Amino acid sequence: MLSRTVPRCAARPTALLRPLRPHGAPVRPARCSIDRSRRGYASEAAEKDLVIIGGGVAGYVAAIKAGQSGLSVACIEKRGMLGGTCLNVGCIPSKSLLNNSHLYHQILHDTKQRGIEVGEVKLNLEQMMKAKETSVSGLTKGIEFLFKKNNVEYIKGTGAFADEHTINVNLIDGGETSVKAKNIIIATGSEATPFPGMTIDEEKIITSTGAIALKQVPKKMVVIGGGIIGLEMGSVWSRLGAEVTVVEFLGQIGGPGMDAEIAKQAQKLLGKQGMKFKLNTKVKSGEESGEAFKINVEAAKGGKEEAIDADVVLVAIGRRPYTAGLGLENIGIETDDKGRLVIDQEYRTKLPHIRVIGDCTFGPMLAHKAEEEAVAAVEFITKNYGHVNYGAIPSVMYTHPEVAWVGQNEQEVKASGVKYKVGTFPFSANSRAKTNLDTEGMVKFIADAETDRILGIHIIGPNAGEMIAEGTLALEYGASTEDVGRTSHAHPTLSEAFKEAAMATYGKAIHY
């Protein structure tokens, strides 16, 4: 049996979690009858086993898991649409635009060599936005169906703590109600971090929310922040015809989690597509100039100031926890200097029956991380144990080519002092990539030099976001690169590049 190491994560201890103390003993489902005719209202008389504040990815997954576990559960959501930022104005709609804008760009620039001749190609932005909205509405209704299937009460309104066990709710349709619970999970998510001195109107000065809803293609767009959100949204509008300039304070794109070698290659490939980059650059201010804006920038370490013109400015400098209006002052729950709710390794606040998951607490602000925490938190309530391996949470950037990674990057491994080895394999040597005429990028493995245990996997290229799942599984099970290299991969597939990169780490690749 393979041994497991404790995942390396500064945000929260991730050793095998100790059993709950007596106050955390599992609850039994309350045997109570609820008048289902009062749809949208919680029963004041019946105490729930669990109430969840927030119906985003963390909240709705926790609600479904709790319902499946036999708990009486209610979920409070103020948006009136389940799925939170991710489903309504984040991950899902942005991926619709990324996919369709890529198809548009490909038809314009990449069909002749494939033997496909097309006539005049036109962009119907309104229809592209409708396709996005259709995807969102279908998925939202699907979650509502799962709530009904698992006996989850859906309360549409804004919840705030009245006391440690009672939540008052201002209902969307008018009126108020309250709900009591033995256990409460806070899953209120995050919001875009504003840029000092710039007022967000979601039309000219926009966040990711405005970036998925522009009514016309801007001539010039400046993206403040070269992380995943900024690059994805910048990529969409660049493909559709905007001149996009990305201003990033750091010396690489993709954020500090992306491997530096991969980030450099991603910048090169996005640059070939028309995006411009100003790295090691800080934004000093922004000012209106007629119908447009002037963004004043200078070198991060100081230097000559420069002005960049823009019709639209996308502020993508990160996200911050959203806890406004929760009434935390009524129960004395703590936040840290970044606004994150303070919890222990079992997601408990100082009030042990109140737990916190997702973006409003520690860890990467990723939907799949929130889902894992949702399941673990409910398992703590019902079974006294739960676990999330924070060392095996994948990240994906859905540009073209895609970039995906899991585990540590090379700069992190080098800083740790661990002796390591690296193996790579280019998609240009992969048969499926060649037949698809999509050969940019590579797979990169980082492994412990002495044990061959995989420390990190980084991919830039076609289908990287799908392929990283194999890497995450390998990391979860403590696999060596030889374990992967000796696993048969179907031919011809892109995943063979994954196998060959593993082979290159412990020995030699066959096809390169």
Residues recognised as catalytic: 491
371 is in an annotated binding site: no
367 is in an annotated binding site: yes
Q: Return d(Cα 149, Cα 138) in angstroms, integer.
A: 17
| Crossing angle (nearest 10°) for helices 367-383 and 57-68 | 30
Q: Return d(Cα 420, Cα 429) in angstroms, integer.
A: 25
Helices and strands (H, E) in the chain, number of each type: 13, 21
Q: State how far Cα 12 lies from the chain centre.
A: 18
189 is in an annotated binding site: yes
Q: Say if residues 223 and 312 touch (Cβ distance below 8 Å).
A: no
231 is in an annotated binding site: yes
248 is in an annotated binding site: yes
205 is in an annotated binding site: no
379 is in an annotated binding site: no
* CA distances for 5 relative to 52, 75, 253, 460, angstroms: 33, 36, 30, 27
227 is in an annotated binding site: yes
DSSP-derived secondary structure letter, 453 = B
366 is in an annotated binding site: yes
Q: Say if residues 433 and 439 touch (Cβ distance below 8 Å).
A: yes
- Angle at Cα 188 formed by Cα 182 and Cα 189, nearest 5°? 140
232 is in an annotated binding site: yes
* 196: CB partners within 8 A, 6+ apart: none
For 180, phi and psi rounded to 5 degrees?
A: -105, 150
225 is in an annotated binding site: yes
84 is in an annotated binding site: no
> Residue 427 is encoded by which pair of tokens?
């998609």
Q: Return d(Cα 433, Cα 495) in angstroms, integer.
A: 10
Q: Say if residues 162 and 168 touch (Cβ distance below 8 Å).
A: yes
Please report the DSSP string for 108-175 in residue order: HHSSGGGT---------HHHHHHHHHHHHHHHHHHHHHHHHHTTEEEEEEEEEESSSSEEEEEETTS-
* 45: CB partners within 8 A, 6+ apart: 32
318 is in an annotated binding site: yes
Q: Exposed, middle or buried, 167 (CB in 10 Å: 0-12/13-18/19+)?
A: buried
230 is in an annotated binding site: yes
226 is in an annotated binding site: yes
* 253: CB partners within 8 A, 6+ apart: 226, 227, 231, 246, 263, 266, 267, 270, 277, 279
Q: Give the annotated binding-site residues for FAD.
A: 95, 159, 188-190, 359, 365-368
Q: Give the annotated binding-site residues for NAD(+).
A: 225-232, 248, 318
